[in-house]
């Protein structure tokens, strides 16, 4: 299986993570033959914005975590909105390893992705 990380204008440029830019690179990656595409959640985006990006893809889309947020509620909200939008999963790294309690935040993420719990319920696992 070939996975491709699709980001507009390279990594670390969240100002360029617009719905239009992400839609373009995700669609392009899927047309070029990726079996799975990993991409960012649009900056200041919503579940509806992410849904537009995912709907343009020919293959499953996984949402990456990006830079360490330092805000559990923001992270869990982004993941919840991604799943609501139809993402096939998440690829969260530094927001877990750099967390003060990696097992707790991993459990909260798992509860949203695999258990379908809401953000409020997931936050209880981190407190």
Check residue 61 and give its pLDDT: 98
Band the pLDDT of 110: cuts 50, 70, 90: very high
Q: What residues does each domain of the chain span? A: 3-94
3-class secondary structure, 64? strand
Domain 3-94 has CATH 3.60.20.30: no
Per-residue model confidence (pLDDT) at position 9? 86
Contact indicator for 72, 44 with CB cutoff of 8 Å? no
State residue 1's pLDDT score: 66
* pLDDT digit string, tens, across residues 2-43: 889 999 987 788 899 999 999 999 999 999 999 999 999 999
Which has more confidence, 68 or 30?
30
**11 vs 60, more confident:** 60
Span 99-120, average pLDDT = 97
Tell me the chain's radius of gyration from C-alpha atoms.
14
Rounded-to-integer distance, Cα 49 and Cα 35, Å: 22
Kindly tell me the burial class for residue 68, based on how many C-beta atoms sit within 10 Å of its own C-beta (0-12, 13-18, 19 or more): middle
Q: What is the pTM of this model?
A: 0.93
Secondary structure letter of residue 40 according to DSSP:
P
């Amino acid at each position: 299986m070939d996975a491709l990380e699709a980001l507009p204008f390279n990594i670390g440029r969240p100002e360029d993570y617009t719905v239009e830019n992400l839609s373009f690179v995700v669609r392009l990656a899927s047309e070029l033959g990726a079996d799975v595409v990993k991409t960012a959640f649009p900056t200041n985006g919503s579940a509806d914005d992410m849904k537009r990006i995912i709907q343009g893809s020919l293959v499953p889309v996984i949402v990456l975590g990006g830079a360490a947020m330092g805000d559990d509620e923001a992270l869990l909200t982004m993941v919840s909105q991604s799943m609501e939008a139809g993402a096939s999963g998440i690829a969260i790294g530094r927001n877990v390893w750099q967390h003060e309690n990696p097992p707790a935040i991993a459990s909260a993420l798992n509860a949203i992705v695999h258990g379908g719990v809401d953000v409020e319920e997931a936050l209880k696992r981190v407190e």
